[in-house]
Amino acid sequence: MSDAAQPATFPPAFVWGAATSAYQIEGAARENGRTPSIWDTFSHTPGKTADGDDGDIAVDHYHRYRDDVALMAELGLNAYRFSVSWPRVQPTGRGPAVQVGLDFYRRLVDELLAHGIKPAVTLYHWDLPQELEDAGGWPERDTALRFAEYAQLVGEALGDRVEQWITLNEPWCSAFLGYGSGVHAPGRTDPVAALRAAHHLNLAHGLGTSALRSVMPTRNQVAVSLNSSVVRPLSHSPADLDAARRIDDLANGVFHDPMLHGTYPATLLAATSTVTDWSYVLDGDLRTIQQPLDALGLNYYTPMLVSAADGVPDGPRADGHGASPFSPWPGADDVAFHQAPGERTEMGWTVDPDGLHELIMRYVQEAPGLPLYITENGAAYEDEVDAGGRVHDPERIAYLHGHLVAVHRAITDGADVRGYYLWSLMDNFEWAYGYAKRFGMVHVDYATLERTPKSSARWYGEAARTGALPEVPAAPAV
C-alpha cells in the first residue's frame, strides 16, 4: 500500500497492459513468406546466444494467439502492446506488403478488440529484415527511408482499428548494443556505426511518424518507447558528475533531445568529436525528427551508477547489458559502471522503484504536457513450477507493487501517466540470454509450450480489474 491505510488507487481510465515483441514470442520463423531478420541470423550464429537458443519457435504465439488473448482477458488486462515483425509483412524490407503477413496482425487485433483489450502496436522491436542489414543496416540513411515505407504499409492495414502506435522500441539497444558492443544483432562492434545508427533510428522515428499520420485517422496516437536511463554519479566529484552527464547524453539525450527538442546535446557532440564528425546529420533532419508526439513511452528496469575511471577502461562491463570487450558507449571508455546497492533480479539488475519515479518526473520537466506511458517494466526471476503445478513468484509481485506505487506517487505529484504495460505477458526469448531468463507473469513450459499464470499474473489482474493495488502476499514460511 502507498500509505498505511489506503491502497493506491489509479485514475479510472488507467491502461493496465502487458507487453511482448514479435521475435521474442511468435515463432513461425519461416512461415507464409517471412524471411530472416537480423535476430534470426544472429541467434543462429554459434556463440551469440545462451545455449544457442533462437526464436524459431519461441512460444509459438503465431499459432496460439487466440488462447493468449483469452488468457489476457481472463486475467483482466485492458491493453496489450505487441510488435509487428517487419520481415513477416515486408520480407525484403522494401516494396509491397505481403497480405498474409498483415492478415495475422489483423486477426490478432480483432481478437483483442473482441475481448475488450486495447491493442498498442510497436512497429520496430529490433527485427530488421536481414536484406536491409546486408545493404548496410541502421548506419545507412536508406534504412530510415525504408522504415517510413514499412510504417505506412502497417498504418494503412491496421490504422482503422489500432489507436495506439509506437514507432521504435528502445532505439538505444538497436544502435549501441547492435552496432557498438555487439551483444545484440547484428553484432557489429564499431562506435562510428553505432552513432550513425542512432541518428538514422531518430530519422526513422520522424519519417515513420509522418508516414503513419499521412494514412491514419487523426484520433490515433503516435509515440516512441525509450529505455531512458536514470544515471547516477558514484560521488559528487566533478569527474564523476562529468561521467554521469556523458553517459546520460549517450543513453538519453541522443534520442530525446532530437525527438523532443530538435537538437543533439552540444555536450554529446563535443564528447564524441574524436569518434565521429556527425556529418551524416543532413540539413532538415532535426526538423524531420522533431515530430509532435501524442505520448511518450518509458521503459524502466533499473538505474545506472557510474564514475570516472581515471583513464582505466572498465573491465567486464557492469552496465547490465551483457558481456563484451567492446563498449556500447562511444567516446566514454573512461567511464566505470558500478553495481548499484540493493536487492537484485535474476538479470543482476538492482531493484529501485524510486528510479522510476525520478525518471517520470524528469520527463514531466523535459516534455511538459506530454502524456506518459510506462511501456515496459518488470523483472526476471528463477520461477519454478511446484508439485501442484503452480508458480509462486512473490519477488515479482513485490517488484511490481513497488514500481506501481512509484507510478502512483508520480501521478499524485502531477505527472500525466496514462498507463502501464508489464514486461512481459509470458516467458519468452530474452535475446542474448535465450530462454534462460523468465520475465513473464505467465510461465511457459518450453517443452510443451503450456502456459501457467504465475501468482503475479493473478495479483496484477486484480489490480487491472479494480484499479487499485492489492495487498502484497506475505512471503511463505521457509
Residues lying near ligand IFM in the complex (CB under 6 A) are found at: 21, 24, 170, 299, 376, 423, 430, 439
DSSP 3-state of 22: helix
CB 454 within 8 A of CB 382: no
Q: Which is nearer to ligand IFM, 86 or 439 (CB)?
A: 439
Q: Which is nearer to ligand IFM, 220 or 227 (CB)?
A: 227
Instruction: Supply the minimum distance, in Å, between the C-beta of residue 316 and ligand IFM.
Output: 19
- Determine the number of helices (DSSP H) and then strands (DSSP E) in the chain: 16, 13
Where are any strands of DSSP class E within 276-416?
296-299, 304-308, 335-338, 372-377
What is the side-by-side strand order in the sheet with 304-308? 231-233, 304-308, 335-338
Catalytic-labelled residue, pool 26, 133, 376, 395:
376
DSSP conformational letter for 165: E
CB 290 within 8 A of CB 260: yes
Question: Most distant CA pair in the chain: distance in Å?
Answer: 64
Phi and psi for 377 in degrees, rounded to 5? Answer: -165, 140
Instruction: Supply the minimum distance, in Å, between the C-beta of residue 411 and ligand IFM.
Output: 23
Q: Which is nearer to ligand IFM, 264 or 460 (CB)?
A: 460
Q: Is 133 left (phi over 0), alpha (psi -120 to 50) or beta?
A: alpha
What is the rounded CA–CA span in Å between residue 169 and residue 295? 14
Tell me which residue of 471, 473, 425 sits closest to 75, measured CA to CA. Answer: 425
Residue 162: C-alpha distances to residues 247, 286, 318, 376 (Å): 36, 28, 39, 19
Q: Which is nearer to ligand IFM, 411 or 436 (CB)?
A: 436
CB 50 within 8 A of CB 436: yes
CB 141 within 8 A of CB 203: yes
Tell me which residue of 243, 240, 264 sits closest to 252, measured CA to CA. Answer: 264
CA 349 vs. chain centroid, Å, equals: 16
Instruction: Supply the minimum distance, in Å, between the C-beta of residue 422 and ligand IFM.
Output: 11
Rg (CA), the chain: 21
Instruction: Supply the minimum distance, in Å, between the C-beta of residue 349 and ligand IFM.
Output: 9
Active-site residue 376, yes or no?
yes
Catalytic-labelled residue, pool 111, 133, 140, 170:
170
Q: Which is nearer to ligand IFM, 170 or 249 (CB)?
A: 170
Active-site residue 133, yes or no?
no
Q: Which is nearer to ligand IFM, 21 or 252 (CB)?
A: 21
Amino acid in position 139: P
Instruction: Supply the minimum distance, in Å, between the C-beta of residue 255 and ligand IFM.
Output: 15
**At which residue does the C-alpha cell 523535459 appear?**
366
Instruction: Supply the minimum distance, in Å, between the C-beta of residue 477 and ligand IFM.
Output: 31
Tell me which residue of 443, 194, 364 sits closest to 435, measured CA to CA. Answer: 443
Instruction: Supply the minimum distance, in Å, between the C-beta of residue 368 and ligand IFM.
Output: 26
Instruction: Supply the minimum distance, in Å, between the C-beta of residue 173 and ligand IFM.
Output: 7
Other beta carbons within 10 Å of 72 = 25
Q: Which is nearer to ligand IFM, 170 or 248 (CB)?
A: 170
H or E element that contains 120: strand 118-124
What is the rounded CA–CA span in Å between residue 353 and residue 421? 15
Q: Which is nearer to ligand IFM, 105 or 423 (CB)?
A: 423
User: Catalytic site residues?
Assistant: 170, 376
